[in-house]
Amino acid sequence: MVDDRPPTVDLLARADRAIATSRRLQAQAAALKDAARLILDAHCAALDEDLLAETTRSPARRRPDQA
């Protein structure tokens, strides 16, 4: 079967597919960035809780390396 479309039509179709792919990849990258930010925030919050627990613990209950 012979493709009798002008080459520019094929190029435009390929460009449209590339743009759609780029938009999907940008959306996926944004979602990954948001997920990474949530993980980092949760990790930092856990570290803050640990630090607060250590600093508010009475000296008698602190770990030996912090006495």
Instruction: Return d(Cα 44, Cα 57) in angstroms, integer.
Output: 20
List CB contacts of 66: < 8 A, sequence separation 6 or more.
54
Asked if 41 contacts 34 with a C-beta cutoff of 8 angstroms, the reply is no
d(CA 42, CA 47): 9
Domain ranges, ordered by start, for the chain: 7-55
pTM attached to this predicted model: 0.59
Q: Say which residues have a Cβ less than 8 Å from residue 63's Cβ, sequence separation at least 6.
A: 54
**pLDDT tens digits in sequence order for the chain, 67 residues long:** 566 778 888 999 999 999 999 999 999 999 999 999 999 999 999 999 988 888 887 666 666 666 5
Which pLDDT score, from 0 to 100, does residue 34 have? Answer: 98
* H-type alpha helices, the chain: 7-56
